[in-house]
Structure 1
Amino acid sequence: MDDLQRARDAAVAEDKHLFVKNHTFYVWEPASLSQSMWGGEMARPFAVLPGQGIGGSASTTRTNPTFFPDDFITSWQPVFLIRHPALTFESWYRAELRVEPIDINLKSWNYLTTFQYSRQLYDWFMSNCSNEDCEKENDSVTMGKPRPVVIDADDVIDGKAMSKLCEVCGMDPEHIRYEWEESRPSNTRGANPREVSYLSGIWDSTTIDKSKSSQGLDVAAKYDQWKEEFGIVAADVLYTKVKSAMPDYEYLKSRKL
């Protein structure tokens, strides 16, 4: 939290935008996250209280599902990036397998194979503005609160989303880059194997990989592919998790930018 606030204060002082990326479940209130995975009695809730820097707040009220107080989390513009569950879960599982064998049935992985947390947080943000104002598609702020923005990975890949996102966030679309140089570190020996597994594709890229789109995706065909690549047990679990996640994904997708 201290590092986040320092970065934010510095960005504001320099009249810049600060983009912070994280997975929703990484900022989820820990007791609630644990209970949703393991069940049992609910432990005492945990919250992180920011200081008095820019965006800091003396309020400790927390009705949102993260460990941030309401005043702090609503001082940011929320952007939800979604992607078809079949591609999301497949990518996660493949990246983990490059590091070490894993048991896909472990409950510990449940938070990585669901869209429920993003949907719940999206709904919480929407509950903070009136129905009339929240229906205004081009407004990023309503009733003094940030309106959550949803973008689908397919729209990033085909270029439809980024200009709109910049406009909503008050940024200049002219600065969007569609090509770049490779950024692989000169020496990855001794690097965290999981970091290498997840970031190699980004390091080696020079432009957007349009093959990553879900356009025309056939989940049944994916299931057959998973059986060949991962085996029948993992394929069955992935297929079940994808089916379970689709309603939340479709819900968010119907509200995309």
Structure 2
Amino acid sequence: MAITTQPKATPTRLLMISVPRTASNLLLRIANIPKQPNLLTTPKGGYFFYPAFIDSTQNGSLQHRPADQWTDEEKASVRNSAQACFDSLEEWSSRAEENDQVMFTKEHAYWMFSPATFLKSTTGQHDEEFFQAFRINTPEKYGTTQTYSPSNETMFPDEYLRTWQMLFIIRHPALAWPSMYRAMQKLGEQGVIDDDGVKGASVTNMSMRWTRMLYDWCLEQPDVPVAPPLVDAHDLIHNPEVILQLCEKTGLDKSVVQFEWPDKEKKSQHWACHKPNADENEVKLHQSAAGVMLSTLESSEGIVKDKAPKAIDITAEAVKWKEEFGEEVGELIEKCVRDSMPDYEYLKARRITP
């Protein structure tokens, strides 16, 4: 089943929800986000909450602890890190508003959710006090109340999330998850995250659950009459013209869209670290991570189609994962892939179709 969304008036803020290794940076390159007229974004197209993600993965086991094993200091540290990222995003948004520009940011779905959500997903128990420990303070201009509907398990109240038009990108888990684990391993080798963080961040990220939760939240909002636009990386790579439909539905300018970039611009060199008071080592680690995550895109001059095979046999691929990563990790990736398929198929059925 395919769901078509209707064109919408140009929004004031665009929030792109992705998952690592879903070709989201490719989408930004094709849409030519830096050259979009009257649009404001960072040199890396967003990623405001990346510093908070890095902080949380420095101790990969923390997010998997039961609520009663968190100290007040640990909860405050995670929340304050996310709050600083939010405040930075708001500064950019205010600048865009002052200049009558559209604010654009891309964030991974996992980064939007409270650590309490991850605990709930494993235990099935909703600990309201634990959820409250991580909720972000939003300015009064978004309303005097902060409502969290039952489907909103993010750190942000409904009133704030509704100020963004969301768009989504997904990719087949059998392609995304092993690629993600490779990237996490490289980040570990470079000292960006520790060994526990490699596995912890991978397990939590290797899921379409967070994307689906945000997508379904959008469908429940009274002021969102149509489904948010969603692109599958497979279509983006094999039928890149879907980007033109995405432009129609988000107000992006089709005239600057590009399908080749022969200049091989090194975007990772411009990935500034937005963490307040970041030291020199943190800045270097941040840029190292950018180099890892953008390696394929930066070495290309256009769309690389062999990164998206048309047919995928999970059982056959699982054999390769065990050979590459070892039995334990290979089995972990296979489980995450199979567990993700229902959410992926649900979202895929609702994508923009070529």
**TM-score, normalised via structure 1 length:** 0.82
Instruction: Please give the per-residue CA displacement for 1:84-139, whole angstroms capped at 9, x wherever unaligned.
Output: 00111111111122233757995564321111111112112112249xxxxxxxxx
Report what 1:134 is aligned to: none
Unpaired runs of 5+ residues, structure 1, are 131-140
Q: What are the residue-to-residue correspondences of 1:113-192 with 2, within 5 Å?
A: 113-129=206-222, 141-142=224-225, 147-158=227-238, 159-180=240-261, 181-184=263-266, 191-192=284-285
Aligned counterparts of 1:49 and 1:187: Cα–Cα separation in 2: 30
Shift of 1:13: 3.2
Structure 1 residues 147 and 6 mapped into 2: Cα distance closer, same or farther (>3 Å)?
Answer: farther
1:29 aligned to which of 96, 110, 114:
114
Equivalent residues in 2 for 1:19-168, closer than 5 Å: 19-37=104-122, 42=127, 43-45=130-132, 46-52=134-140, 56-63=142-149, 64-100=152-188, 102=195, 109-129=202-222, 141-142=224-225, 147-158=227-238, 159-168=240-249
Query: Contact 1:57 / 1:71 at 8 angstroms: preserved in 2?
Result: yes
In the alignment, is the contact (CA less than 8 A) between 1:114 and 1:245 conserved in 2? yes
Between Structure 1 and Structure 2, which shows a larger proportion of helix residues? 2
Q: Separation in 2 of the partners of 1:199 and 1:174?
A: 25
TM norm structure 2:
0.61
Correspondence for 1:8: 93
- The letter of the residue matching 1:80 is F
Give CA-to-partner distance per residue, 1:30-52, whole Å, 9 cap, x none. Answer: 32233324777722423213225
CA separation of 1:147/1:52 partners in 2, compared to 1, >3 Å: closer, same or farther?
A: farther
Deviation, structure 1 residue 248: 0.5
Q: Quote the Cα distance in structure 1 between the aligned partners of 2:258 and 2:270.
A: 26
- Where does residue 17 of structure 1 map in the other structure? 102
Larger RCO (CA under 8 A, 6+ residues apart): 2
Question: What percentage of residue pairs aligned between the two structures are identical?
Answer: 31
* CA deviation string 1:47-84 (max 9, x = no partner): 2132256xx33331121221111111011111121000
The amino acid that maps onto 1:96 is M
What SS does the corresponding residue of 1:79 show, helix, strand or coil? strand
Q: Given residue 169 of structure 1, which amino acid in structure 2 is its aligned partner?
A: T
Aligned partners of 2:180 and 2:202 also within 8 Å = no
How many residues are treated as equivalent by the alignment?
242
C-alpha separation in 1, matches of 2:196 and 2:313: 25
Q: Write the letter of the residue equivalent to 1:84.
A: H
Tell me the secondary structure at the aligned position of residue 114 of structure 1. coil
- List runs of 5+ in structure 2 lacking aligned partners: 1-85, 190-194, 272-280
Residue 151 of structure 1: CA displacement?
1.2
Distance 1:57 1:220 in 2: 50
